[in-house]
Amino acid sequence: MKSGASLARVFGFLLIAIVVTGCSAAEKVRRGDVPMEEYSAEQIFGRAEFEMNRRRYEEGARYFGEVERLYPYSSWAKRALIMQAFAHHKDKDYENSRASAQRYIDFYPTD
């Protein structure tokens, strides 16, 4: 009888451990926890536009910067750099706005 009771305890302990581990793993996948690298340039750019429409210009500028960082030689990066300058300007962050605009001029002098 004693081995049956200890076997039941071990089984119960393992079951609880599995449930607790499963719950903590499920909590890790929340909104915003997905790495930015998992998204396409178009998706990140769209999120930045969404933030701009909500008048969250600082967040919009951050997302536009992510497009430039992750996809530096794409047409999306070119658009994002201009939009980042605009977002900083709307946020009244004129120093960063000027820096973004200057970066655009440096990278794309013929445009």
Residue 26 has pLDDT above 70, yes or no: no
CA distance 81 to 101: 7
The model's pTM = 0.69
CA distance 102 to 111: 13
Is the separation of the CB atoms in 64 and 41 below 8 Å?
no
Question: Across residues 2-26, what is the average pLDDT?
Answer: 55
| The two structure tokens encoding residue 25 | 């793993």
pLDDT in tens, 82-109: 999 999 999 999 999 999 999 999 999 9
What pLDDT, on a 0 to 100 scale, did the predictor assign at position 52? 97
pLDDT in tens, 29-51: 455 678 989 999 999 999 999 99
Residue 24 has pLDDT above 70, yes or no: no
